[in-house]
Amino acid sequence: MNGLGGLNKSPNGVVLGLVQLKLPRIETPADLAAQTDRIVAMVAKARANLATMDLVVFPEYALHGLSMDTRPELMCRMDGPEVAAFRKACVDNRIWGCFSIMEFNPHGAPYNTGLVVDDTGAVKLYYRKMHPWVPVEPWEPGDLGIPVIDGPKGAKLALIICHDGMFPEMARECAYKGAEIMIRTAGYTAPIRESWRFTNQSNAFCNLMVTANVCLCGSDGTFDSMGEGMVCNFDGAILAHGTTGRVDEIITAEVRPDLVREARIHWGVENNIYQLGHRGYTAVKGGAQDCPYTYMHDLAAGRYRVPWEDQVRTVDGTACGFPAPTRSYGAGQTSPNASAAREAAE
């Protein structure tokens, strides 16, 4: 049930458009400016493509491509021209938009940042990727947590980025904070295709949450991204899936946050997001509400250590040509909170 990709919109529906944007090659500031214009044009295409669309989602690396180039002249700032152009595009086309930037960090490596902008041009969601795809990606690990906002038509909305979605804890955190729709943007290439598909479905089913997921598409002459725009319903069923790998195709679907809310309230069997904290409630009143998971205790105490810790061979980015880091996480950082960052942008 997706209203023929949003052509037939129900009163409670939210129509999503996932842009399988062609993988760009960015080498100069002029390339960056041209790609900004291209994304702005694709926002207009999305609106023209489907008048019912509420939110258009661009993949991770839509602006910067997959070069992993961290030169300051190619990095973005929240008050820079790229973000300003994306905000204006949302206003001009009366649509919400989800965008990707590599954000300059004066205290360390750049952040891999995702933004959701509403149809008035306000930055409503500001997220820094928590789990860079190590050892390949050089980005600073995110320091703002996972914000959940009121999105189009009041739907609770969260955003995670690419490799984040391989950690079930990330989707669980989104749902635990109330997200009914979780966006996952990515730049993945073909070897990850099957993992991408089943994690998108499991993230949805395990949390009674819609997941909306999209990768870059096509080739930049070196890398080949796979597209794979994919919307999964809260029961894990696939509502829409871009399987052709056609660049710049916009995969659309209508989703129903009201049915997510209904399932979370009324499901008994497989209401896993609730049952995690109420183990065995048939046998004991309210269920067991302890925390029996060793890794949770160890992670919270700063002593997370897998049994094979000393045998792990790849523990930095040197295998991918990056120098071994010498700075500890948080050293020298000044971390604004999400609301302060949005206010600075606005």
- Give the tens place of pLDDT for each residue, 123-142: 999 999 999 999 999 999 99
Residue 134 belongs to domain spanning = 3-345
The answer to whether 152 and 192 have CB atoms below 8 angstroms apart is no
Marked catalytic residue, from 76, 98, 162, 232? 162
Rounded Cα–Cα distance for residues 161 and 141 (Å): 12
What pLDDT, on a 0 to 100 scale, did the predictor assign at position 163? 98
If one counts the domains in the chain, the total is 1
Taking all residues of the chain, what is their mean pLDDT, rounded to a whole number?
95
The answer to whether 6 and 51 have CB atoms below 8 angstroms apart is no
What pLDDT, on a 0 to 100 scale, did the predictor assign at position 4? 87
- Rounded (5°) CA angle 219-222-224: 35
Distances 131 to 163, 227, 249, 335 between C-alpha atoms, Å: 6, 21, 28, 17
Contacts 24+ apart (CB under 8 A), 271-277: 271/208, 272/206, 272/207, 272/208, 273/172, 273/175, 273/176, 273/206, 273/207, 273/208, 273/209, 276/172
Peptide bond preceding 135 in cis form (omega within 30 of 0) = yes
- Indicate if the pLDDT at residue 265 is higher than 50: yes
With CA atoms as reference, report the closest residue to 191 among 236, 214, 223: 223
Per-residue confidence band for 335, with pLDDT thresholds at 50, 70 and 90: low
For the segment 32-41, the average pLDDT, to the nearest whole number, is: 98
Q: In what order do the strands lie in the sheet with 55-57?
A: 123-128, 111-117, 96-103, 55-57, 14-19, 250-255
What pLDDT, on a 0 to 100 scale, did the predictor assign at position 344? 44
Which pair of tokens denotes residue 67? 């070069």
Helix (H) or strand (E) holding 166: none
Per-residue confidence band for 102, with pLDDT thresholds at 50, 70 and 90: very high
What pLDDT, on a 0 to 100 scale, did the predictor assign at position 3? 76
Marked catalytic residue, from 129, 174, 180, 254? 129
82 or 2, greater pLDDT? 82
Q: Specify whether 129 is catalytic.
A: yes
Query: pLDDT (tens digit, 9 = 90+) per residue, 143-164?
Result: 999 999 999 999 999 999 999 9
- Indicate if the pLDDT at residue 277 is higher than 50: yes
What pLDDT, on a 0 to 100 scale, did the predictor assign at position 345? 47
What pLDDT, on a 0 to 100 scale, did the predictor assign at position 260? 98
Helix (H) or strand (E) holding 89: helix 81-93
- Indicate if the pLDDT at residue 6 is higher than 80: yes
- E strands within the chain? 14-19, 55-57, 96-103, 111-117, 123-128, 148-150, 156-161, 181-186, 210-215, 217-219, 224-226, 230-232, 238-241, 250-255
- Rounded (5°) CA angle 336-207-277: 90
With CA atoms as reference, report the closest residue to 117 among 134, 106, 101: 101
Domain at 270, CATH number: 3.60.110.10
For the segment 270-298, the average pLDDT, to the nearest whole number, is: 98
SS3 string of 237-279?
CEEEECCCCCCCCEEEEEECHHHHHHHHHHCCCCCHHHHCCCE
Which pair of tokens denotes residue 159? 């955003």
For the segment 77-95, the average pLDDT, to the nearest whole number, is: 98
DSSP structure class, residue 182: E
- Indicate if the pLDDT at residue 340 is higher than 70: no
Amino acid at 176: Y
Query: pLDDT (tens digit, 9 = 90+) per residue, 218-244?
Result: 999 999 999 999 999 999 999 999 998
